[in-house]
A and B are shown apart, each in its own frame.
Chain A
Amino acid sequence: MSVNTDVKTYTGFRAMTLVCMFILYAPLIVVTAYSFNASESITTWGGWSLRWYVDVFSGPESAKFQQAAVNSFSIAIIAATTATAIATAAATAIVRGGKYRLRTPSLGLITLPIMVPEIVLAVATLIFFNSIGFTRGYMTILVAHIAFCIPFAYLPIQARMQGIEDTFEHAAMDLYATKAQAFRRILFPLMMPGIISGFLLAFIVSLDDFIITNFVKGAGVETLPTAIFGSVKQGLKPNIMAISTMLLSLSVVMVTISYFVSKWDNTK
C-alpha cells in the first residue's frame, strides 16, 4: 500500500522551507561575498579582490590576530583531545559498566555543562578561579574549555557505543584476549567514528566559545572570538569579514567531515 502523498503534503510548507534555508544562509553568504570586496568601506561594492585576506595576514592588526589564532587553535586542540579521552573512558563505564548506583549521577554530571546556561557557567568559573587564587590567563581558558567540551565529545561516542553489540568483545575474549586487549583491538577501533565526531565537535565548540573565554581570559590573552568581538565593538571593518569567512569555512569543512565519519559503519 502506498501512502497517498496528497494527504501528507501541505501547500506552502515547501515555500516555508525555502524561506528557512534563505534565512539560515543569507547572512553567511553576504558576509562571504563582502569579504572579497575591494572597497575600503563595508557599504559600497568596489569589485572583487583579496586585499582584506592579505590585510589579515600582513596588515596593522595582523600580529594581534595571529597571536589570537595561535591561542585559539592550541587551546582547541589540547582541550578537544583531553575531553575526548576523558569522554571515551566515561562512555565505556556508562555503556559497558552494567547497572550501578553511580551511573545516573555520573551521566548527570557529564551533561551538566550543557544544561547550565553558558553565562551562568562563565560566572561560576570566574568566581571559582578567583576564590582559589588562580591567575586568569591561558591556563584558566584551557581548563575551562576541557571541562565544557566533555559533554560534546561524550554524546557522539555514547551514541556510537550503544550501537556496537557486546558480542564483538565477547568473541575476542572467548579466544583468550584479555579485557584490555579486547578493548584496544576490537572495541576501540569500532568506536572510532564516534570518537572522531566527538573530537571534531569538541574542537569546534572550543574554537567558537566566546562567553566563557571572555570571562576567564584575563587581560592580554585573546582568542579569535574575543579578538573579533573587541574589533567589532570598534566598528565593522572589512578585515573582520575576511577572518569570519575563513573561520566559517573551517567550521563547514569540519562538520562535513564529522557528518561523513558518523555515516561510516565499520561493524559490518
Chain B
Amino acid sequence: MAGGAASGGSAASDTYKEARHWLLMPSWLVLGFFVFAPVCVMVIYSFLTKEFRGGVIWEPTLAAYDQFFFDRGLFGDSDPTLQWTYIEIFWRSIWQAGLATIMSLLIGFPTAYFIATRPDGTRALWVFLITIPYWVNLLIRTVSMKFLLRDEGPMNDALLNIGLIGEPLQIINTNLAVQLGLFYSYLPFMVLPIYASIERYNFTMSEAAADLYATKFTTLRRIVLPAVKPGVIAGCILVFVPSLGAFLAPDLLGGAKNFMIGSLIEEQFKGNAGNWPFGAAASMILLSMVLVLLLIFAQQQRRAGAAT
C-alpha cells in the first residue's frame, strides 16, 4: 500500500499542468485542516498541563511524558523511579502484535505461495476470496470471533462433540484470544503483498536449484525466500502496525487484564477521569514507533528496488 502510493507513477504526462494547483487545493484544504493540523495540535497538547475534568491548561510542561516513564510517589515529591505500568502495556502490545504477525506469516506465506502458483484463470478468484473478509466491517468480524470463541460457543461445542477435549477451552479474555483476534483481523494484509512478490518470482530459478540437487526445503529457504523478501517484509509491517494500535480486538476479546496501547489511549478520553495530555503523549509515542517502522520499511523497499 505504502510503496505503490509513494511513487505516484512514472508517467510524466503534463496535460493539466496549468490547473494542477487548483486541482490539489481541495485535498490540501481538507487534509491540511482536518488531518495535518490535528496531528500538530495533538503534539502541542502532549506538552500541556492537564485540567481537572478532561481539558487542558495552556502551560507547557513535560508532565505527561514524565508520568509515562517515571513514578514520583503519591505526592510527586519522591525521587523518580522507573514507572513500569505503561511501559509494560506498550511491551505487551508489541508482544501481542508480534505473535499475531508470526501467526499470520506462518499461515499467510503458504497460502500466498499456493495462490501464486495456480493457473491464470483461478488465481484472480483466490485473490478475491482473500480480499472479501478484509472489507467486512472489522467490528463485525471481531464480534464474530467473540461469538465463535465463547466458552459455550460453536468452536467449543464442535471440539467437545468430536471428543478432542473433555471440557470447554477457556479462550475468551486471555492473551491468546487477543492474538487470534488480531491475526484474524489482518491476515489478508499478510497474504496480498507476499502473493504479489511470488507472482513476479521467476520459477526457473527454482528449477535451476533443483537441477543442482538442492532439496525442496533448501530451494525455498535459499532461493525463493530471499527473492520475495520485500513482499514478506511488507506483509509483516501491514499486520504489525495496525495490530500495535488496535482497540477492538483487545477490548472485546481480551477483557480488563489484557490491556493494550489502544485501550490505554481510549481510556484517557472517555468520561471525566481522563487525562488528555497523557493520552496525547501516549499517542505520540505510538505514532513515533510506527513512523520509525515505516521509515525502515521505505528504506528496505528502496534498497530492494535498487538491487533489481
Q: Which residues of A contact B (CB under 8 A)?
A: 3-4, 7-10, 12-14, 16-17, 19-21, 23-28, 30-31, 34, 42-43, 85-87, 89-90, 92-100, 102-104, 106-121, 123-128, 130-131, 143-144, 146-148, 150-151, 155, 158-159, 161-162, 166, 169-170, 179, 182-183, 201, 204, 207-208, 210-211, 215, 225, 228-229, 232, 236, 240-241, 244, 247-248, 251-252, 254-255, 259
Contacts and interface: CB of A to CB of B under 8 A. Distances in A.
B19 interface: yes
Interface of B: 1-2, 4-6, 8-9, 11-21, 23-24, 26-28, 30-32, 34-39, 41-42, 45, 55, 107-108, 110-111, 113-115, 117, 126, 128-133, 135-141, 143-148, 150, 152-154, 184, 187-188, 191, 203-204, 206-207, 210, 216, 219-220, 241-242, 244-245, 247-248, 252, 261-262, 265-266, 269, 276, 279-280, 283, 286-287, 290-291, 294
B38 A92 contact: no
Nearest to B127: A259
Nearest to A88: B23
A124 B38 contact: yes
A27 B39 contact: no
A166 B55 CA distance: 53
B16 A97 contact: yes
* Main secondary structure on B side of the interface with A: helix
B129 A21 contact: yes
A28 B133 contact: yes
- Which 6 pairs from chain A and chain B are nearest by CB? A98-B14, A97-B20, A128-B38, A117-B245, A27-B144, A16-B110
Contact of B36 (A43, A85, A109, A150): A109
A122 B17 CA distance: 35
B141 A17 contact: no
A124 B241 contact: no
B11 A162 contact: yes
B5 A111 contact: yes
A232 B252 contact: yes
Nearest to B12: A99
Contact of B245 (A10, A13, A119): A119
Contacts of A143: 34
B301 to A, nearest CB: 14
Contacts of A120: 39, 42, 245, 265, 283, 286-287, 290
* Main secondary structure on A side of the interface with B: helix
Contacts of A98: 12-14, 17, 20
B16 A251 contact: no
Contacts of B154: 30, 34
B299 to A, nearest CB: 15
The residue among A43, A86, A100, A108 with the most chain B CB atoms within 10 A of its own CB is A86
B286 A117 contact: yes
A107 B5 contact: yes
A56 to B, nearest CB: 14
Contacts of A158: 5, 8-9
A109 B146 contact: no
Given A10-B110, A247-B137, 15 more contacts: A7-B203, A21-B129, A24-B129, A86-B26, A92-B19, A94-B9, A96-B15, A100-B20, A114-B1, A116-B290, A119-B283, A125-B38, A147-B31, A170-B15, A211-B262
B16 A183 contact: yes
Given A100-B20, A210-B248, A236-B146, A17 B34 contact: no
B141 A155 contact: no
A265 B20 CA distance: 27
B31 A150 contact: yes
Contacts of A159: 4
A95 B12 CA distance: 7
